[in-house]
Structures are given as C-alpha cells and as structure tokens.
Amino acid sequence: MKKTLLVAALGATTAFSAPAFAEDVYFPIIAKGFSHQFWQAVKLGAENAAAANGVTITFEGPNTEAEIDKQTDILNAAIAKKPQGLGFAALDSQAQVPALKKAADAGIPIVAFDSGVDSDIPLTTCTTDNLAAAAGAAKGLAEAIGGEGEVAAVIHDQTSATGIGRRDGFLNEIAANYPNITIVDVQYANDALKAADTIKTIMQAHPNLKGIFASNEGAAIGLAVAIKETGAQIAGVGFDSGKTQKDAILDGSLIGSITQNPVGIGECVVDSLAKAIKGETLPPVIDTGFYWYDASNMNEANIAAVLYD
Amino acid sequence: MTDTTQEAPTNKVITSSFLQKAVAFVVLIILLAFFSIFAPNFAAWSNMVNIMQATAVNGVLGVAVTFVIISGGIDLSVGTMMTLTAVISGLILTNLGMPLPVGIAGAIAFGGFMGSLSGVAVAKLKIPPFIATLGMMQIARGLALVFSGAKPIYFNSTPNYGLLSPESSISLLIPGLEMPNSVFIMFGVAILASIVLNRSILGRYIFALGSNEEAARLSGVVVDKWKIITYGISGMICGVAGLLVSSRLNSAQPALGLGYELDAIAAVVIGGTSLAGGRGTVMGTIIGAFIMSVLTNGLRVMGVQEEWKIVVTGLIIIVAVYIDIVLRKQS
C-alpha cells in the first residue's frame, strides 16, 4: 500500500509527457519548482510551444526553491540524456555554472529562463525584468496613496534573484520618485500563513501605515488575508496571480497587482531552443514583460491570458 | 490559562515537568513584559489577539507531536500531513460539494488513517520513528500535490468555512470581543488532549511506552496496538490543524507545510516535554508555542531583522533543553 503511494507521489514529481516518436527533438525544461501556480503556467506555455514546434519536452523542478543541490542533480540527469537543447531556470546564478558548462561542452544549446546565469553559456535568457516590474508595483501603490505616507514591503525570499530584484525595484522606485513616501519596514515571509501574521505585526508596529507591497503570490494571499481580518484601510499591492489574489482585487481588499507573463516565459524558452537548433541567433535577453492589473482591466484579453487561478 | 496540574506515572515526573512548565511560563511572562516595555504598540489588545491567532496552527501541531514524543517516538510528518488533510477537506467540500461536517470529519479521519500508517511502519515493520515519519512527510507532501493537481483548492462554495478559523463567534455572545475561533479550537484540542493523556488508559500507556517500552511489554501492554493508536491520534490532530490553516487562507495551499514540523517540535521541547519520552505535558507545549510566537511578533514589532529573529529562536530552544537536562539530573 505504502509503496504504491510512494510511486504515485514520485510519478507526479517528474511529470513526463510521453514522447510520441523516439526520434523526436527533445528539450528538458528545468524550473525552480513545479507545485507553485506560477510554474504550472510556465509549463503550460512551454507545452503550447512544444506542440507548435513539434518537439517533446519534459518539465521538472525541485520541491522548494531552496533546494539548489536537488536542482543541480536534476540538471545533471537531464544532460546525461543527451537532449537536443535544455531550458534552465537557475536557483543560484553562479553555483550551477560548472554543470551548465558540461552541457555546453557537449554541444547542447541552453536557454535560461526566469532568472539569469552569471555566464555567457545560455544563448538567451527569457525573463521578467524584476526591477522594472517591482517599480511598476511601487508606482501603482504610490498613486493609490496620493504620493505620501508610510509604506512597507513583505518579500518572499532574502536571497533569490527574484526576491532581491523585486525588493530593490520597489525600494528604488519609491526612493527615486516619491520623496514624501517613507518605507518603514521590509520583512520576509515565505508562505501565505506566515505572510498574514507578519503583515498584521507590521500594521501593529506602524499604525499610520498607508500601503503594503507583497512580492509574490504567497505573500499577496497573506496580505489579502491580513487586510480582510483587520479591516484596515491600507492599500495593498501584490505580485503574480492566483485565484485568491484575483478575488481580493475584485472585492477591493487589494488595489492591484503586477503579473509577469509566465505563459510567455514558457513559450519563449521552447521557441528559443527551437530557433537555436535551426541555427538562428538570439538576443542575449528576451524580456517577456509585465502588466499592472486591477479590477478595471483584469478581464481584458491580453491580461486575462497571463493570469492563472 | 487552564488548570496546569498534570498527573503522570511517578511523583518524580510530576515535580520536574511541573517545574519546567513553570519555568516556561515564567519565560513567557518575562518576554511579554520585555516587549511591552521596549516594543511600541506591542502591548495593545489587538496585538495580543494577533499573537494568539498566529499561535493556533503551531500550537495544534505541537499537541499532535507531544503525543508521539511522550510515547518515545517522533513525528516529522505533521507539517505536510496538515497540508494533506487541508487538501482532503477541499476535495470533499469543493470538488464533491458535501456539507461542512463531512469535510471536517473527512479531514480528521484521513489524518488519523495516514498517521496510523506511520504507526504501523514503526510498530510492525520496526522502522525507527524518525525514518518512518520522514517517509510519511514526503508521502503526505506528494499526495497533497497529486490530489490537488498541484493547485490550491478554494472554499468559496462553503461560505461557513471561515467559522473554523478567522471568524469570531464569541462576538455574538460578548459583543465587542474579537477572538478568532481558531484560538478556542487550539485550547479545546489542548484540553481534550490533556484529559486523554492524564485521565485515560491510553494516556497511561503512552507514558508507559515512553518511560520503558520493554517494561510495558512485559507487564502485558499490547505495545504495537497503542503505538499505532498514538500515531493515529497525532494524524487526527494534524487534521484539525489542516482545517485551521485552510479556513484562514480560504484555500488548501498544497505547497505549504514543509518546515512546520520543526516549529511544532520546538514548541514541544521549549514546553518541557522530554525528547527521550515518558515525560511531558500538553499545556507546556501550548506555552512553548506561545513563547515562539511572542518572540516572532515582538522582535518584528521592534523592527529586528528577520535573520536575527531566527537566531534568537534557536537560542531559546537550546536554553530550554538545557534547563530540561538540569532539572532531570536534580530529580
């Protein structure tokens, strides 16, 4: 009984799409995770592009975004399969360069996605400019509070490139363009429950707080929960999507959020790999863009297409 | 707080565990006093409510682990088991559209079932508890992702689901008093667990297993059966935590839960339950959980960096276990 369960669990972690033909062009796509909604949307985009290009992909990732070593194991296993190309979202921009070099030496074209690698090995990087996207969040928040008052940020991670980029993008934009806004606190919380409690504590410590920025889906759920539970008149701005966050924007708990284009990131990876094996040259970075969304534009086709439940 | 006296097999045990629980309680009071003086806005009643609400999930998980630790085992699966039961509740209520009580019963029963599987692995297959529940931690995490399709399950079709955690039913009785139901559920679970541990045959056997399993076996206790029941109870209590967390977030988040087992074990240890087994109290665990959330909250209100908060929590755990060792030598 337990063995069956274990096998079922393992089966789900690898999510192989069965190759239709043995001679298919095959690209392993290695993400930072797979259970998060964001990665599921990237996977969807990658699968769409794979179907359009007539290639086979697999989509894998470690359990959590802290497991750099596990991701390196997945990477090595993928290289060992001698694929025609490889998509890789590095958990650490430097630690995994040696493994990637092995792939490059074997002549496997590599496309980085989501966050870059400190190396010229990847032919291109499909990514959101996190600094720009978080600056967009800062702008939305600043306008909502009339350009003055106290604000705080809750960031999903202290060490990852996305955590650092979104934090700094938000802080820099406020510092550069909104002299009357004070940032009173920056805290970290890596899941929705912890974010909710953290944000209520920030509200407690700063009774005059006018706005809070939450840097990913989990933090944004926590923000929505905290604002609902306290009934505080605080402008909340989130990041990414997910049903809770979308509902919170519709019911007014959050004023809006920034979404990346995860489907576009997935498509970009597979399209770029397909182009690479045809010998086309690629730009060093492909910015897949971001959108500000709120109750007024959530249902517009171009926005709705990149939001996920 | 409730009556803190506990009965256990021998007088020695009463003295030392009561003493350490008293120590934990004094530490809690000192922390509260310290932050009230040095952290502006900490002492507000609304913040006390925040702290109690933030303690609920860890407190309930702590109670689950307390049972297993007193019996001489350990349960590393409580965090992901909580997540799995939250997903089960979502499947029953949202996907199958069943009424709320079925979801509650289903989550708790499924937790009990999975927990007892850990118990079978420990008792019948003789797998060390650390390994068996480490395996179960992964199995529960994997199943939570499989059953949910790696997507959150929402409870929008169950409007009363909020009654299980964030809503404040006491306000109906005492207008103006806002206290989330999760806080009452935590104390309810703790009181019930205390009664089971101290007034039932099951409780007596759990203490006996932890003190000296061989002696218990020789005196005719069916050790395997009681072990399986102990892990089953831990799983059931995880089911309650699963309901609390999913009610508060109005969704079962399948990726959450990893790491919660360590917070729960820390609460148990700070509360004076011995990792060696045979000794401990549920109320101590609740006090331990409160110490952790008061620290987290207070240091945040003071504006202390997150990184240092983690360091301080680690120090508190070590100090707590040191006190445990000193007290055990004395008794």
Q: Tell me the per-residue pLDDT of B216-245, one tens digit each, with 9 for 90 and over.
A: 999 888 999 999 999 999 999 999 999 999
Q: How confident is the model at residue A7 (pLDDT cuts 50, 70, 90)?
A: very low
Smallest CA–CA distance, residue A46 to chain B, in Å, is 17
Clarify whether residues A121 and A162 are in a common domain.
Answer: no
A308 CA to centre of own chain: 12
Pairwise CA distance, residues A100 & A120, whole Å: 10
Cβ distance A221 to B251 less than 8 Å, yes or no, reads yes
Which residue in the set A9, A242, A247 is minimally distant from B146, CB to CB? A9
- Bigger pLDDT: B287 vs B6: B287
Cβ distance B141 to A9 less than 8 Å, yes or no, reads yes
Pairwise CA distance, residues B297 & B302, whole Å: 9
Query: What is residue A292's DSSP assignment?
Result: E
Q: Give A179's contacts (C-beta < 8 A, 6+ positions apart).
A: none
CB pairs under 8 A between A and B: 119
Residue type, B193: A
Domain containing residue A183: CATH number: 3.40.50.2300
Lowest mean pLDDT among A65-74, B258-267, B297-306, B321-330: B321-330
Would you say residue A12 has pLDDT above 70?
no
- Bigger pLDDT: A115 vs B37: B37
Clarify whether residues A99 and A186 are in a common domain.
Answer: no
A172 CA to centre of own chain: 20
- Bigger pLDDT: B250 vs B232: B232
Clarify whether residues A120 and A159 are in a common domain.
Answer: no
Q: Which two tokens stand for residue A53?
A: 């290009």
Given the structure tokens 């039961």, which residue do they identify? B85
Clarify whether residues A202 and A244 are in a common domain.
Answer: yes
* Phi, psi for B227 (deg, rounded to 5): -65, -45
Lowest mean pLDDT among A283-292, B8-17, B90-99: B8-17
Residue A138 belongs to some domain of the structure: yes
Would you say residue B134 has pLDDT above 50?
yes
Q: What is the share, in percent, of chain A residues with pLDDT greater than 70?
A: 93
Q: Which of A157, A225, A229, A307 to mutate to test binding with chain B, by most B CBs within 10 Å of its CB? A: A229
Would you say residue B167 has pLDDT above 50?
yes
Clarify whether residues A6 and A76 are in a common domain.
Answer: yes
Smallest CA–CA distance, residue B115 to chain A, in Å, is 12
Pairwise CA distance, residues A13 & B251, whole Å: 22
Clarify whether residues A117 and A142 are in a common domain.
Answer: no
Q: Is B175 helix (H, G, I), strand (E, B) or coil?
A: coil
- Share the mean pLDDT of chain B: 90
Residue A306 belongs to some domain of the structure: no
Q: Which residues of A248-286 are buried (b: 16+ CB within 10 A; e: fewer)?
A: bbeeebbbbbbbbbbbbbbbbbbbbbbbbeeeeebeeeb
Pairwise CA distance, residues A9 & B148, whole Å: 12
Domains and CATH numbers, chain B: 11-330 (1.10.3470)
Q: Is B92 helix (H, G, I), strand (E, B) or coil?
A: helix
Clarify whether residues A48 and A123 are in a common domain.
Answer: yes
Would you say residue B2 has pLDDT above 70?
no
Pairwise CA distance, residues B157 & B164, whole Å: 15
Q: Which residues of B touch A202 (CB under 8 A)?
A: 300
Residue A35 belongs to some domain of the structure: yes
Residue A300 belongs to some domain of the structure: no
Clarify whether residues A236 and A142 are in a common domain.
Answer: yes
Residue A111 belongs to some domain of the structure: yes
Q: Where are the alpha helices (DSSP H) in A64-129?
A: 68-80, 97-105
Clarify whether residues A160 and A194 are in a common domain.
Answer: yes
Determine the pLDDT at residue A50.
95
Minimal Cα distance from A37: which residue of B?
A: B151
Determine the pLDDT at residue B3.
43
Determine the pLDDT at residue B16.
58
Determine the pLDDT at residue B20.
67
Contact B139, B83 (CB under 8 A): no
Residue A307 belongs to some domain of the structure: no
DSSP string, A167-187: HHHHHHHHHHH-TTEEEEEEE
Determine the pLDDT at residue B9.
46
Q: Which residues of A touch B121 (CB under 8 A)?
A: 2
- Which structural domain range is residue A145 located in? 130-260
Clarify whether residues A15 and A122 are in a common domain.
Answer: yes
Q: Is A47 helix (H, G, I), strand (E, B) or coil?
A: helix
Residue A292 belongs to some domain of the structure: no
Residue type, A227: I
- Share the mean pLDDT of chain A: 88
Clarify whether residues A123 and A268 are in a common domain.
Answer: yes
Residue A294 belongs to some domain of the structure: no
Beta bridge partners of A238: A257
Clarify whether residues A105 and A146 are in a common domain.
Answer: no
Domain count, chain A: 2
Which residue in the set B117, B143, B156 is minimally distant from A9, CB to CB? B143
Q: Which residues of B67-86 are buried (b: 16+ CB within 10 A; e: fewer)?
A: bbbbbbbbbbbbbbbbbbbb
Determine the pLDDT at residue B47.
92
| pLDDT, tens digit, 9 for 90 and up, residues A181-224 | 999 999 999 899 999 999 999 999 999 999 999 999 999 999 99
Given the structure tokens 């060490």, which residue do they identify? A159
Cβ distance A9 to B300 less than 8 Å, yes or no, reads no
Would you say residue A20 has pLDDT above 70?
no
